Amino acid sequence: MVKIKICGLKRLEDIEMVNRYKPDYIGFVFANTKRKVSHELASELKANLDSDIISVGVFVDAPKEEILRLFNDGTIEIAQLHGSESEDYIIDLKESTNNELKIINAIEMSEDTDLLVYDSSNADYLLLDSGKGSGKTFDWRLIRKDLKKDFFLAGGLNSENITGAIEQFNPYAVDLSSSLEVDGFKNEDKIKEIMEIINE
């Protein structure tokens, strides 16, 4: 069964919604976007999150100390990296946590992307996306069928295309954010719909 991540939670109401519908992962965005949350707010939201749901922190070239602080205080369990973070950066994060911190390496997909180079990455997962929270799909023909790492599929997924994406590529997980919103806020009806589609 494909796993689901709902990204960009920023209100207690969002936490209450996901607690009802039980996605596998949720994301707190710490990068400078409209969904950015403070460390304090993320900690409060995490304290109210169902313990079965795994929290992911989304970063773009953040200081390692920031990620480690959020991991060590229990706010996040996984770091999702969207910048130009190097393999040494990933290794340092993992060694600093005795390999307890899991890493998702986000890749902006284009004609120039060579996914083969990520086969040997120290990241635990890849995330294939069209850009940093663009909400648009990329050319799915760029996805290699022989990827060695489990991957999250992101970018423009919604209730209309998600079944086809799962059937075609069998991702480890799907990652949604803007398609589950109305007027910039997570919407319960949209979350309920997508969870029913995936779990049917």
Handedness of CA 39, 151, 128, 186 (dihedral sign): negative
State the Cα angle at 45 between 16 and 49, rounded to 5°. Answer: 55
Strand partners, 59: 81
State the Cα angle at 14 between 108 and 50, rounded to 5°. Answer: 95
- Which of 7, 73, 183, 189 is catalytic? The answer is 7
Per-residue pLDDT at 135: 60
Per-residue pLDDT at 155: 86
Assess whether 124 carries a catalytic annotation. no
Instruction: Give me the mean pLDDT over the 30-57 stretch.
Output: 97
Assess whether 150 carries a catalytic annotation. no
Per-residue pLDDT at 130: 78
Instruction: Give me the mean pLDDT over the 16-36 stretch.
Output: 96
Measure the CA–CA gap between 170 and 187, rounded to whole angstroms.
26
Tell me the pLDDT tens digit for each residue of 79-118.
Answer: 999 999 999 999 999 999 999 999 999 998 888 888 888 8
Contacts of 172 (CB under 8 A, 6+ apart): 2, 3, 125, 150, 151, 152
Tell me the pLDDT tens digit for each residue of 124-142.
Answer: 999 998 765 556 677 777 8
Measure the CA–CA gap between 196 and 2, rounded to whole angstroms.
13
Instruction: Give me the mean pLDDT over the 18-47 stretch.
Output: 97
In the predicted structure, residue 40 carries a pLDDT above the cut 90: yes
- Which of 92, 124, 129, 150 is catalytic? The answer is 129
